[in-house]
Structure 1
Amino acid sequence: MGIIGSQLKPFTATAYQAGKEFFDVSDTDVKGHWSVFFFYPADFTFVCPTELEDLAEQYDTLKKMDVEVYSVSTDTHFSHKAWHDTSDKISKIKFPMLGDQLHTLSNNFGVLRETMGLADRATFVVDPDGVIQIMEITSEGVGRNAKELVRKIKAAQYVRAHPGEVCPAKWEEGSDTLAPSLDLVGKI
């Protein structure tokens, strides 16, 4: 079975979040609002801090959209705190940073590189019912774009709120959508 449309699997992970220190997050905590699980290979690396800083710059926008962000690596919550306290880029992060040293989340989402004990560079968007709606996985050296993630979440939220409509390529909020029907076949 594919992961899109599948239910979020049970998990509990310890998070570090600036101002809150350490706390547990579970699958039941994320239900009821949109969530982003933003996997990255490791703390104290190279592409990862640039992506996390980019995501941190979109966090206020995402919060206004009722989206919580959870960054996830196989490091511990202690490592996340140390990185947050020592990196200019990572110190900008306000969202929870989940430690996945037991690989529960990485296995649940199918992104664990078992021979290395690290997660792939992957993003998953989960709807308020706990259903995975969006996924993106890139190779080690290819960073993601948080503005594009925001655009995709807006499209997913629109489709959820407007059954029978779909968002075409490059759809932006306020743009025309499509209503799939036999009348459109061969005319697009």
Structure 2
Amino acid sequence: MSNRILSIGSQFPQFSKKAAVSTEKGKEFIDLSNEDLKGKWTVLFWWPKDFTFVCPTEIAEFNRNYDEFTDRDATLIGASTDSEFVHVAWRKDHKDLRDLKFPMLADTSKSLAEELGILEENEKVAYRATFIIDQEGVIRWVSINDLNVGRNVQEVIRVLDGLQTDELCPCNWNKGEETLTAQLNAELN
């Protein structure tokens, strides 16, 4: 890759893009920017191309877990370098994508993917990247998979839970379990 991947501690880049939010005529698109993310946790996940094979399995799984993100006061956004029109066409075409509850960001200029450092060099498509961004717009977690391997949505939720505790979370920690801070405090008393 020619660009460096923006990582933990970096401010998420400024952007303003179209996003597909519906298949209903006249209500298909919205404008989406950093302003829409202020004050909330955001999970932004990227896939390489619409009308492919691994991508809809991930998008459908994120959609099945949509309430898990909203219960954590997190905005969920999917993205690729395809246009908002291609996103809508794919949603109409693929049964698992028809009733998505989150926006599909269209980075047709590839500027945001490039600024994030996740644009694959040869095909100029986004890697399977996932960013967790805090309420101040700071990137707190990045995960990137090769083009042919889907991600684990439960792991994204687990990491979001851990970040939201603002405490030390041990290996394989899950929401509801004790954090290391709680364990250390108990040991000291």
Q: Identify whether the pair has TM-score above 0.5, normalized to the shorter chain.
A: yes
CA contact (8 A) 2:7 2:141 kept: no
Residue number among 8, 11, 20 corresponding to 1:7 in the alignment: 11
Pairs aligned (count) = 175
Measured against aligned partners, the alpha-carbon deviations of 1:57-111 in whole angstroms (never above 9, x if no partner) come to 0101211111111111000000000011110111131100000010122012110
Q: How does the TM-score come out when normalised to structure 1? A: 0.88
Counterpart position of 2:20: 16
AA at the equivalent of 2:177: S
SS at match of 2:180: coil
Q: Residue in 2 aligned with 1:176?
A: 178
Q: Is the 8 A contact 1:74 1:119 kept in 2?
A: yes
Following the alignment from structure 1 to structure 2, what is the Cα–Cα distance between the partners of residues 95 and 40? 14
CA-based RMSD? 1.6
In 2, distance between residues paired with 1:93 and 1:144?
Answer: 18
Deviates more, 1:102-111 or 1:126-135: 102-111
How far, CA to CA, are the matches of 1:105 and 1:31 in structure 2?
18
Post-superposition offset of 1:136? 0.5
Counterparts of 2:154 and 2:86, CA distance in 1: 27
Deviations 1:24-67 (A, max 9, x none): 11112211101111100000001000000011001012111111
Aligned-residue sequence identity (percent) comes to 41
Q: Per the alignment, in what secondary structure is the counterpart of residue 113 of structure 1?
A: coil
Runs of 4+ in 1 over 6 A off after TM superposition: none
Aligned: 1:68 with 2:75 = yes
Paired AA for residue 140 in structure 1:
L
Partner of 2:165: 158
Q: Is the 8 A contact 1:53 1:92 kept in 2?
A: no
Unaligned runs of 5+ in 2: 183-189
Q: 1:42 aligns with which of 43, 49, 59?
A: 49
TM-score after normalising by structure 2: 0.88
**Match for residue 101 of structure 1 among 108, 115, 139:** 108
- Alpha-carbon distance in 1 for matches of 2:124, 2:178: 44
- Looking at structure 1, the residues matched to 20 and 60 of structure 2 have their Cα atoms a distance apart, in angstroms, of 16
